[in-house]
Each structure stands twice: as structure tokens, then as C-alpha cells.
């Protein structure tokens, strides 16, 4: 998926949250119009005003000088006032003749100066509160803390954590699996055989793209596995099965080997595990599983296009609508983290709030505490084309903090550390359990 931006729009970093808050405070303090163009002059101006008598003509000229706008000694006062360039001068001048106006303007000056003081105090206070709060909330990395089970009670035996982990390892044993590579072809063959054996009708939705580096043709294919095609309530379960060409977030080796155990492997392994549950569905519910190619065929960030497979699938869905449209879609991405925590993804809440709430409610009922009923990240992922182009209300189940949030915590996302050792079959099984139970309620 596409990484988020660091800055006021970001909701991932403590710093960005503080920055956003300060901008809000700043906006609030600026709503009352002020005429001073130089913000750094305000505290000085405020101090000066406290010391000086406002009716003193000499003080007026000092204020003007302090405010940082040079006014030539030969410049007539009337011209300066009419320009409105120095906020204090016009009100102060007029105040000499009009008492009430003077009161208003001097109060205005004080408020403006104190606005900056308020911002500074708010910033410091907020920072302190956030640091203390974050510490108590476990925001800072606590390396060595025992890994929590994703569920409050044991996962039913039909959701086999060892089997799920076996699938994940089998996928990773192939090695890196970028689109168009020989390794991807081997993975496709393995999955075609697997889903056929499991009883699905398997097809490949093939297309071609131009390689962003050299323009050569790259074959792509979405793998589609269908169960109970004649059933009237159809649901889409999906994941991407390609891996990013390089671990470009790895500080030590950006051109190293990217296995993509969690990012690419986990969703695929989860659908493989889910295939064992397809016999246990309501009699009117049918499922299509789709593994998208080209989710992140990204050789150069910012230049190359994400979500090639899901875009192709979505456009095709519109061009050739199926006899029975999907009621909903669930995208599984990065669901094998050993320290699984799946928050509401914000785009999912915008596009498919009822489906999202239904899934988290199911998790709550089952005691799967890895599903946290709070929103955290806004993630660009394969569910965006499905929602925007195909209009299939689709939710993204994604644990974007891999392995955990927190200052000083490691990050395995798009690094050489995205390997099976940092994943857990129990996490995959817990997610499959929740999605399957949710399907059974439809």
C-alpha cells in the first residue's frame, strides 16, 4: 500500500499530531482580524504597551519603531495611517480623539500578544500531556514485552494456526515474488493447484503492463477462485500476492531481498486457510476469492503506479458486470503480524462503514481483541479501486504498525525484516475466524 505523508495531515506520528493541534490553535487565535504583518513583533509590542502610557505621543512613535516597519522621519503621519500597515498606529491615533475606540483597540493589541503566549503555553502543556499519556498508553516502545495472544480464548480448532503458518512459509520459500517474475509464475502455479484441489473454480484474469523502468511488457494476472457460483449473496474476499521489488524502507539495504511474508504473503495464506471453511457457509452465501497482481510494482516511489491488478479487476467488473453483484468485499493485507492489532482503516470507514462495524462487532463477540474498535491509519490499498471504480463496498483489514506503534519501535514494513519469523499463524487464524463468522451471519 501507499505510505502516508508525514505532516499535519498525518495521524501516525506524535509530532504530527502536536503540529496539527498548534495549527488549529493558531487559526483560532487569528480569527479576530489583526493588522500587524510581522508576527514576531507582537510579543515585543505587547511588552512595550504594558510599560508605556498609551496617550503619550512619544510612545506611539516607539511602538511604530518596535513593530519592525521602518517609517521615514519625513513621512506624514496621515499617509502611514491610511496605509493601515501598522496596526497599532491607526487605532492609537484615533483613540486620542475617541475614547471608546481606544479601549477596543488596546484590548485587541493585548489579546493578539497573548495569543502567541497562549500558543506557546498550549504547545508545551500539550506536549507534556501527550508524552505522559503516550507513555501510559504504551506508545513508547517496550521491547521485551511478551507478545499478547490475538484472542481472549482459544481459537476453535477448525482454524488451524499451524496450517496457516505452513502456507505462509510455503509462499515465502518461493522467495521474492514481484509481478512478471519466474517466482511469481511458480506461486501462481502452486495456488492454482491448491485452490482447485480445495474445490474452487479457478481462473486467471490476465493483462499486460509496461515495465516502469524499461518499457518492456510485463505479464500480470489476478487469480480468481470461486465457490458456490450459483448462490445469490456473493461476497468478495481478496488480497495481493505480488511483493514489492525492493525493501526500500530498509535503512541498511534498500536494494536488498524483500520476502514480503506479511506484505503479500499473509493475505494469500489467510485465503488459503479460509478455503477450508467454504463448506461451512449459509446456503445462500457464495464467495469469490481474488488475489491481485501488481499491488506494488513500484520501482521508483512517486513515479510508478500502485494497484494495477485491482484497478484492472474493478474496470472489468464495470465493463462486464457479473450476473450477481458483490454485496461487499473484504481485503486482507498484513494480517500475520506477531503483535496483531487491526484498527479501523479510515478509508474503509468512509466507503463501507456498516461492513467495517459488522466485522469489528463480530470480533468483539468472539473475543478477538486484535481487532481494536478505533480508527488509526488512512491507507491507500487495493480496496480504493474496488470502492471507487467498481462501487463494491470494501473494507481493508490491515495492521499497519508492524510490529507495533511507538517511538523507538522497530518497523518491518518494506524492509528485509518482513519474514516469517516476525509473523504468526495464530494471527492469521484469528482473522480468518472473524471473517468467516461474519460471513456466516450474512
Cβ–Cβ < 8 Å for 394, 348? yes
Residues with Cβ < 8 Å from 255, sequence gap 6 or more?
A: 246
Residue 3 beta carbon to Zn ion: minimum distance, rounded to whole angstroms: 9
395 vs 393: CA distance, rounded Å: 7
Is residue 263 at the binding interface for Zn ion, with CB under 5 A as the rule? yes
Q: Between 158 and 257, whose beta carbon lies closer to Zn ion?
A: 257
- Report the residue number, 263 or 437, with the smaller CB distance to Zn ion: 263
- DSSP letters of 204-254? EEEEEEE-TTT--EEEEEEEEEEE-TT-SEEEEEEEE----SS-TT-SS-T
CA angle 357, 363, 367 (to 5 degrees): 145
Single out the segment in contact with Zn ion by CB under 5 A; choices: 134-142, 143-151, 180-188, 262-270.
Answer: 262-270
Closest separation between CB of residue 305 and Zn ion, Å?
Answer: 14
Residues 346-385 binding Zn ion (CB under 5 A) are: none
Is 268:213 a contact under the CB 8 Å cutoff? no
Q: How many residues bind Zn ion (CB under 5 A)?
A: 2
CB of residue 343 vs Zn ion: minimum separation in angstroms? 17
Cβ closer to Zn ion: 287 or 379?
Answer: 379
**x/- track of binding to Zn ion for residues 270-299 (CB under 5 A):** --------------------------x---
CB of 293 to Zn ion, least distance (A): 14
Min. distance of Cβ 411 from Zn ion in angstroms?
Answer: 12
Q: Are 179 and 294 in contact (CB under 8 A)?
A: yes
Q: Cα 73 to the chain's mean position, in Å? A: 57
CB of 91 or CB of 245, closer to Zn ion: 245
- Using CB under 5 A as the binding rule, the residues of this chain from 9 to 38 that contact Zn ion are none
Rounded distance between C-alpha atoms, residue 64 and residue 4, angstroms: 46
Closest residue to Zn ion in the complex (CB): 263
- DSSP code of residue 280: S
- CB-wise, 91 or 176, nearer to Zn ion? 176
Least distance to Zn ion, CB of residue 300, Å: 15
Three-class secondary structure of residue 203 per DSSP: strand
Do 216 and 177 touch, CB atoms closer than 8 A?
Answer: no
Q: Which residues contact 54 (CB under 8 A, 6 or more apart)?
A: 92, 95, 102, 106
**Of 264 and 286, which CB lies nearer to Zn ion in the complex structure?**
264
Which residue's CB is nearer to Zn ion, number 234 or number 244? Answer: 244
CA-wise closest residue to 227 among 202, 193, 191: 202
In whole angstroms, the minimum distance from the beta carbon of 264 to Zn ion comes to 7
Give the footprint of Zn ion on this chain (CB under 5 A): 263, 296
Amino acid at each position: 500500500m501507499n505510505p502516508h505523508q508525514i505532516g499535519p495531515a498525518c495521524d501516525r506520528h506524535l509530532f504530527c499530531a502536536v503540529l496539527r493541534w498548534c495549527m488549529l490553535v493558531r487559526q483560532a487565535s487569528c480569527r479576530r482580524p489583526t493588522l500587524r504583518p510581522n508576527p514576531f513583533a507582537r510579543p515585543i509590542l505587547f511588552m512595550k504597551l504594558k510599560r508605556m502610557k498609551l496617550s503619550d505621543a512619544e510612545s506611539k512613535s516607539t511602538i511604530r519603531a518596535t513593530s519592525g516597519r521602518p517609517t521615514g522621519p519625513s513621512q506624514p503621519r496621515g499617509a502611514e495611517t491610511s496605509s493601515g500597515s501598522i496596526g497599532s498606529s491607526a487605532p492609537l491615533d484615533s483613540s486620542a480623539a475617541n475614547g471608546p475606540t481606544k479601549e477596543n483597540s488596546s484590548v485587541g493589541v493585548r489579546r493578539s500578544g497573548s495569543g502567541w503566549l497562549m500558543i506557546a503555553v498550549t504547545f508545551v502543556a500539550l506536549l507534556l500531556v501527550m508524552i505522559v499519556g503516550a507513555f501510559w498508553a504504551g506508545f513508547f516502545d517496550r521491547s521485551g514485552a511478551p507478545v499478547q495472544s490475538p484472542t481472549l480464548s482459544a481459537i476453535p480448532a477448525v482454524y488451524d494456526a499451524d496450517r496457516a503458518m505452513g502456507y505462509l512459509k510455503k509462499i515465502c520459500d518461493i522467495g521474492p515474488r514481484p509481478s512478471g517474475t519466474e517466482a511469481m509464475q511458480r506461486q501462481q502455479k502452486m495456488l492454482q493447484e491448491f485452490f482447485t484441489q480445495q474445490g474452487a473454480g479457478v481462473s486467471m484474469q490476465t493483462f499486460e503492463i509496461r515495465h516502469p523502468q524499461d518499457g518492456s511488457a510485463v505479464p500480470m494476472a489476478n487469480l480468481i477462485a470461486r465457490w458456490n457460483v450459483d448462490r445469490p449473496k456473493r461476497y468478495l474476499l481478496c488480497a495481493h500476492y505480488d511483493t514489492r521489488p525492493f525493501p526500500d524502507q530498509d535503512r541498511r539495504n534498500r536494494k536488498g531481498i524483500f520476502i514480503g511474508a506479511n506484505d503479500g504473503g499473509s493475505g494469500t495464506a489467510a485465503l488459503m486457510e479460509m478455503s477450508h471453511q467454504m463448506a461451512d457457509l449459509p446456503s445462500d452465501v457464495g464467495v469469490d476469492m481474488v488475489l491481485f497482481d501488481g499491488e506494488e510494482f513500484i520501482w521508483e516511489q512517486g513515479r510508478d503506479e500502485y494497484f494495477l491488478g485491482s484497478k484492472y479487476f474493478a474496470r472489468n467488473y464495470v465493463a462486464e458486470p457479473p450476473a450477481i453483484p458483490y454485496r461487499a468485499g473484504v481485503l486482507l493485507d498484513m494480517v500475520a503480524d506477531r503483535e496483531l492489532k487491526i484498527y479501523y482503516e479510515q478509508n474503509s470507514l468512509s466507503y463501507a462503514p456498516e461492513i467495517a462495524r459488522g466485522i469489528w462487532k463480530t470480533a468483539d463477540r468472539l473475543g478477538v481483541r486484535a481487532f481494536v474498535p478505533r480508527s488509526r491509519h488512512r491507507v491507500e490499498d487495493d480496496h480504493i479501486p474496488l470502492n471507487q471504480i467498481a462501487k463494491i463496498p470494501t473494507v481493508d483489514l490491515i495492521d499497519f504498525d508492524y510490529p507495533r506503534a511507538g517511538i523507538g519501535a522497530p518497523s518491518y514494513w518494506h524492509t528485509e525484516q518482513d519474514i516469517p519469523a516476525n509473523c504468526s499463524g495464530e494471527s492469521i487464524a484469528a482473522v480468518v475466524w472473524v471473517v468467516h463468522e461474519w460471513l456466516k451471519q450474512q
